[in-house]
């Protein structure tokens, strides 16, 4: 049996709006949540401080989350109304982020991939992010996990 050390880091209070244009119900309307992301890290060995990941070393990850989700509007790249949202962005009415999909599941996957890009640099491949939970409120979340 191999040993693994794990740790988590959570970022909260990331208010953004989005819409699920393919949905037949109210999720097709623009709506927003204060998103939260919990990153789960693991490693077979700890660093010189006895940590899986130095949380202070995750500034780039925090900056990415703020850039993507702090007072922004997420619109899917295949949204038929994308030109309208681009115009609103150009007029300064919204801070647009065009993403492959606006679901929590999609943003959990994207956040995990970004975390691993950063961890690869700062830990030289020693640690990784194996799971991200993206939460839109206290009732709903989506989790993306890799083996």
Which residues are CB-contacts of 120 (< 8 A; sequence separation ≥ 6)?
128
Say whether pTM exceeds 0.75.
yes
Q: What is the pLDDT of residues 113-137, one digit of tens each?
A: 999 999 999 999 999 999 999 999 9
Angstrom distance (rounded) from CA 52 to CA 50: 7
Note down the domain range covering 140.
Answer: 5-145
The kind and range of the H/E element at 36 are strand 31-43
Read off the tokens for 103: 């679901």
Q: What is the mean pLDDT of residues 91-95?
A: 98
CA atoms within 13 A of residue 77's CA, in its CB half-sphere: 4
Q: How many domains does the chain have?
A: 1
Q: How many residues are recorded in the chain?
A: 147
């Amino acid at each position: 049996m191999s040993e693994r050390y794990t740790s988590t880091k959570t970022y909260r209070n990331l208010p953004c709006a989005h819409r699920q244009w393919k949905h037949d119900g109210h999720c097709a309307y623009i709506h927003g949540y204060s998103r939260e992301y919990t990153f789960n890290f693991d490693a077979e060995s700890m660093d010189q401080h006895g940590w899986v990941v130095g949380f202070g070393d995750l500034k780039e990850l925090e900056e990415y989350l703020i850039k993507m989700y702090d007072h922004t509007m997420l619109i899917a790249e295949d949204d038929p109304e994308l030109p309208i949202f681009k115009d609103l962005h150009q007029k300064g009415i919204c801070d647009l982020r065009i993403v492959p999909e606006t679901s929590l599941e999609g943003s959990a996957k994207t956040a995990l991939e970004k975390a691993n890009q950063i961890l690869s640099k700062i830990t030289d491949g020693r640690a990784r992010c194996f799971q991200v939970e993206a939460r839109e409120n206290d009732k709903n979340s989506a989790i993306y996990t890799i083996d």
